[in-house]
């Protein structure tokens, strides 16, 4: 499966208890796969925020709100684990400690590290609705996620 791109989705400041909804248009002329999202920023860092709605047309893909700080923490752990496993495997293969340049060449696939699995078929012309909520007691300056898109595989069932 081929990664096409990642779309950055960023909120403006959110007061405590407030929500912000963003509409994102499908950027490709053919159906694509919305594989997952990754949390790229929560400012300030200990913010309590959630993704409360994720839908295309009238179909909602979230049963309950998703804690963005939890996703961010799990992403960090998965990245560290993947780096450690790559280091160990390369050390076994070459019989010595791999150089930093060699380690950088063996980055894991983003789909292998994903924490919030979506795998949603997204057709041209459809709008994606994304809603964020500040669940904490203080203002959140910025929430940012990346929507990771892949080319649709012929082996995947058609969705929506």
Number of structural domains found in the chain? 1
Residue-by-residue pLDDT tens, the chain, 160 positions: 788 999 999 999 999 999 999 999 999 999 999 999 999 999 998 899 999 999 998 899 998 999 999 999 999 999 999 999 999 999 999 898 888 888 888 888 888 899 989 999 999 999 999 999 999 999 999 999 999 999 986 545 544 4
Query: Would 73 be classed as within a structural domain?
Result: yes
Report residue 130 CA to chain centroid gap.
Answer: 12
Residue 115 inside a domain? The answer is yes
Q: What is the pLDDT of residue 153?
A: 63
**Assigned domain for 26 exists:** no
Q: Is 5 helix (H, G, I), strand (E, B) or coil?
A: strand
Domain containing 11 equals 3-18+31-54+66-150
pTM here is: 0.84
Q: Give the pLDDT of residue 123.
A: 95
User: Is 75 part of any domain?
Assistant: yes
In a domain, 60, yes or no: no
In sequence order, the β-bridge partners of residue 53 are: 131
Is 61 within a domain? no
Q: In the prediction, which pLDDT does 155 show?
A: 47
CA proximity to 146, closest of 1, 66, 50, 41: 41
Return the closest-CA partner of residue 55 out of 159, 128, 113, 143: 128
Q: Residue 125 corresponds to which tokens in the numbers above?
A: 């012309």
Asked if the structure places residue 157 within a domain, the reply is no
Q: Identify whether 10 is part of a domain.
A: yes
């Amino acid at each position: 499966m081929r990664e096409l791109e990642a779309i950055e989705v960023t909120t403006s400041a959110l007061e405590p208890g407030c929500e912000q909804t963003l509409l994102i248009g499908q950027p490709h002329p053919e159906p694509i796969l919305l594989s997952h999202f990754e949390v790229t920023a929560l400012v300030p860092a200990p913010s309590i925020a959630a993704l409360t709605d994720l839908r295309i047309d009238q179909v909602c893909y979230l049963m309950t709100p998703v804690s963005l700080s939890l996703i961010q923490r799990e992403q960090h752990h998965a990245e560290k684990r993947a780096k450690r496993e790559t280091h160990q495997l390369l050390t076994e293969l070459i019989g010595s400690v791999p150089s930093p340049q060699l380690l950088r060449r063996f980055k894991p696939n983003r789909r292998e590290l994903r924490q919030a699995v979506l795998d949603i078929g997204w057709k041209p012309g459809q709008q994606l609705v994304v809603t964020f909520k500040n669940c904490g007691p203080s203002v959140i300056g910025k929430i940012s996620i990346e929507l990771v898109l892949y080319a649709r595989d012929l082996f995947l069932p058609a969705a929506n």
